[in-house]
Homo-oligomer: A and B are copies of this chain.
Amino acid sequence: MNQPYYEPKDLEDFPNITEYAQPKGNAFFSYYNKATSAGKLTEREKSLIALAVATVRHCPYCIDAYTNKCLSLGLDNDEMMEAVHVAAAMAAGDTLAHATQMRKIIKKKEM
């Protein structure tokens, strides 16, 4: 009974979260579907964004879902990995951007 917490079958259960608190679940999926399906941006563009966000937020379920979605849209391995590198570079970059606040304090002390 030492079943791991994170399993692919949880992802299969995702559509069923509407079982409890149904009106909220339905409203979520209505938003989610509108937000992630083609609009002014293409499905390809949105799937790359979703893959990047899934990875930077460490969500295995979403990485699974959007890896498969990207593959089904014909995106190749380099393109998908480039999207992940944007997310990774941003995560490092936003950390370093906050180092400018450290620098402001250092500079003020040095004056």
Instruction: Show the binding face of A for B, using Cβ within 8 Å.
Output: 1-11, 13-14, 16-17, 19-21, 23-25, 27-28, 30-32, 34-36, 39-41, 45-46, 48-64, 67-68, 71, 76-106, 109
Contacts and interface: CB of A to CB of B under 8 A. Distances in A.
Given A55-B99, A81-B25, A5 B3 contact: no
Given A6-B5, A39-B24, A52-B52, A95 B102 contact: no
18 contacts: A5-B8, A5-B63, A6-B6, A20-B103, A21-B81, A21-B82, A31-B89, A34-B85, A35-B82, A35-B88, A36-B90, A39-B78, A40-B79, A41-B86, A55-B95, A62-B94, A62-B97, A92-B92
Given A39-B78, A40-B82, 9 more contacts: A5-B60, A5-B64, A19-B103, A30-B31, A50-B90, A55-B95, A56-B56, A57-B94, A88-B92
